[in-house]
Amino acid sequence: MTFRDIVFKILSGSGATLLIFFSTLLFSLPLGLLIAFARMSKNKVIRSVITFIISILRGTPLMLQLIVWFFGPYYIFGFKLAAEWRVVSIIIGFSINYAAYFAEIYRSGIQSIPIGQYEAASVLGYTNSQTFTKIILPQMIKRVIPPVTNEIITLIKDTSLAFVVAYAEMFTVAKQVAAAKTTIVPLFVAGLFYYIFNYLVAFIMERIEKSFSYYR
């Protein structure tokens, strides 16, 4: 197998990696905001429950959570697992896990805004929703972009954990090629792809961060 063949073989698994990546961002970013609101709820019961759930999601390995999501319906309810459930369970597992991390990032960003800004908005006649969308949210986004970027970069690398439920994403394909051809070249090629992807993400997020610089 030539180097070109190795590259194209590994690229065949990139579609699965990108599916996990973009699907997770699509669901986890807005879900994280909802969880953050619940985490800051004035209702002590809701706040305590959400805090406990977040502690579980952040305190246990993502690999274990993927196993639970994939096999849980069978062992708990006796459901027969359809072929499509493999990728669905992966997206659910990734989305909920990362939503917990994003929620804590959002919460810290929201709570970092001085209370005086809320009071000033109230004096000007802003409703709570107007205060959040027009005053708090833009500043919060600016402040959380760096930690969110770190999580997104981590997500790119974490997509390789899908192998635990036998889902052939890019790194799994690289390992299969490496084992079949007894060479580590495919692993380095996969590493290069991850690096390029991470570089592009960091570049895009830096541009987004600069676009919010006028809030300083």
pLDDT, tens digit (0-9, with 9 covering 90-100), for 31-49: 999 999 999 998 999 999 9
Alpha helices in 40-136 (DSSP H): 44-59, 62-77, 85-111, 115-123, 128-131
Which bin fits 136, alpha (ψ -120 to 50), beta or left (φ > 0)?
alpha
Residue with the larger pLDDT of the pair 191 and 213: 191
**Model confidence at 107: pLDDT above 90:** yes
pLDDT per residue as tens digits for the range 174-211? 888 888 888 888 899 999 999 999 999 999 999 988 88
**Model confidence at 126: pLDDT above 60:** yes
- What is the token pair recorded at 120? 């000033």
Least confident stretch, 49-58, 116-125, 145-154, 187-196:
116-125
**Model confidence at 62: pLDDT above 90:** yes
pLDDT band at 214 (very low <50, low <70, confident <90, very high): low
Average pLDDT over residues 132-139: 86
Query: What's the rounded Cα separation, in Å, for the pair 155 and 161?
Result: 10
Domains of the chain: 3-211 (1.10.3720.10)
Helix (H, G, I), strand (E, B) or coil at 155: helix
Average pLDDT over residues 100-118: 91
H or E stretch covering 208: helix 185-211
Asked if 89 and 69 touch (Cβ cutoff 8 Å), the reply is: yes
Nearest to 150 by CA among 109, 101, 100: 101
Average pLDDT over residues 142-148: 92
pLDDT band at 71 (very low <50, low <70, confident <90, very high): very high
- Spell out the residues 6+ positions from residue 175 whose beta carbon is closer than 8 angstroms to its own: 163, 186, 187
**Model confidence at 216: pLDDT above 80:** no
Query: What's the rounded Cα separation, in Å, for the pair 25 and 36?
Result: 16
- Spell out the residues 6+ positions from residue 123 whose beta carbon is closer than 8 angstroms to its own: none
| Burial of 193 (C-beta count, 10 Å sphere; 0-12/13-18/19+) | buried
